[in-house]
Amino acid sequence: MSTSVHEFDTRGLDQCPFMPVFGAPAVMFERGRGTELWDVDGKRYLDFLAGIAVVSLGHAHPAVADAIARQAGQLLHVSNFFANPVATAAAIGINDLLADATGEAGQVFFTNSGAEANECALKLARKFGGRGRHVVVSAFGSFHGRTLATLAATGQPSKHEPFQPMPDGFRHVAWGDLDALTAAVDPTVAAVLIEPVQGEGGVHPAPEGYLAGIRRRCDEVGALLMVDEIQTGLGRTGRWFGFEHAGVVPDVVTLAKALGNGMPVGACWARRDVAGVFQPGDHGSTYSGTAIATAAVNAVLAELRRLDAPALATARGQHLRDALTAVPGVAGVRGLGLLLAVELDGHDAPTVYRALLDRGLITNAVGPTALRLAPPLTVTTAEIDEAAALIAAVLGEAAA
């Protein structure tokens, strides 16, 4: 018996065809363009979440859509016994961006997701450190993925609890506390894995001097600095990479989300001498560097460069920040570029999220009193003003 999407929309979770890990879906979306989305009933929404900082170029971007369609008609996949020019160009594109940001030559491993990019980084750290030096230090409040190892690295004990015992070799320290991190990074530590802005943890930028202090400590003990740029990378924070705000040079960088503008693809980049500890057979994935995913990467990187993504995020981010700061009921705005959180003045964020959704604005409650805003970098100032007006209306109603 077939089920129309409209029927499914109104059914309870017990009839849902998906495993119940995401909760009840709020809306069923059918199509998008730029910052706009339309649901199955034709209602329009402004997307100020962009699929969680994924769709940086906006929905249904023509250059990305064309690249995927053309590649689909030419070659999808050949396995890693062979090369394809599409993945090669994409790897060179990432190496070029990171060479500009770090001054280092590097190498890339392509994945299908952010978690897999971090898995690659974690295995690289263990191979680099060798026996007796395999611990990875990360921060409380961090998010690094949902596979067992990346979950172990994720500094959220409540997420570990149902799946104990966690893989060992992971250590967590208070976010932003350099003394605690310095104490935790002893000679058993292979690497520190850190986000330049904690995204899922509530949009908390690294405090001044934190990343530079971590870099210093890693150098003292010979540990790797691995930066998780899965949410912050590729222009979103107003620089190509979040670590550039801190003026540090990492050894390993992981990317995903914006890399495919919705095509599932991630990458782990490492400085050439670090990447060189991997030998043939140490790591792999059937779909690593598959032509269809990397066709999207090439189109995304070209378009982000053409638009000057960091400059766009800085300018539009400032406009959004100014618009939100002027809204009564907003206690503060934090974040960098177009990765922002609005701290609400006494309002319940999940309630406000729901009211905004009803009015056609997509945000995300990233804490009990905070909403995350991460629209496409291509968001227009008119769309920003429209979103700010909707937030003002909802907060005004809630206050009345």
Ligand X SMILES: *Cc1c(COP(=O)(O)O)cnc(C)c1O
- Select which of 128, 143, 170, 241 is catalytic: 143
Q: CB of 79: closest distance to ligand X in angstroms?
A: 23
Q: How far is the CB of 339 from ligand X (least distance, A)?
A: 10
Q: Which residue has the tokens 């934090």?
A: 334
383 forms bridges with which residues in the sheet?
none
Q: Which is nearer to ligand X, 262 or 329 (CB)?
A: 262
Smallest CA-to-CA distance from 269 within 281, 280, 256, 287 is with: 256
Residue 14 falls in the annotated catalytic set: no
Residue placing its CB nearer to ligand X in the complex, 188 or 285: 285
**Residue 83, amino acid:** A
Rounded least distance, CB 256 to ligand X, Å:
5
CB of 122 to ligand X, least distance (A): 12
Strands (E), 250-313: 252-255, 266-271
Q: At 21, phi and psi to the nearest 5? A: -95, -15
Q: How many CB atoms lie within 10 A of CB 62?
A: 12
- When CB distances to ligand X are compared, the closest residue is 114
* Residue 237: partners with Cβ closer than 8 Å, 6 or more residues away: 196, 197, 245, 310, 313, 335, 336, 337, 338, 339
Give Cα 139 distance to the centre of its chain: 16
The active-site residue, picked from 47, 228, 243, 251, is 228
Kindly list the distances between the CA atom of residue 227 and the CA atoms of 134, 158, 181, 322, 369, in Å, as whole numbers in the listed order: 17, 23, 15, 29, 28
Adjacent-strand bridge partners of 371: 342, 365
Residues making contact with ligand X (CB under 6 A): 113-115, 118, 143-145, 195, 199-200, 228, 230-231, 256-257
Answer yes or no: 81 catalytic.
no
Work out how close the CB of 390 gets to ligand X at its nearest, in angstroms, rounded to a whole number.
25
Beta bridge pairs of residue 103: none
195 or 383: whose CB is closer to ligand X?
Answer: 195
* 322 part of the active site: no
Active-site positions read 143, 228, 257
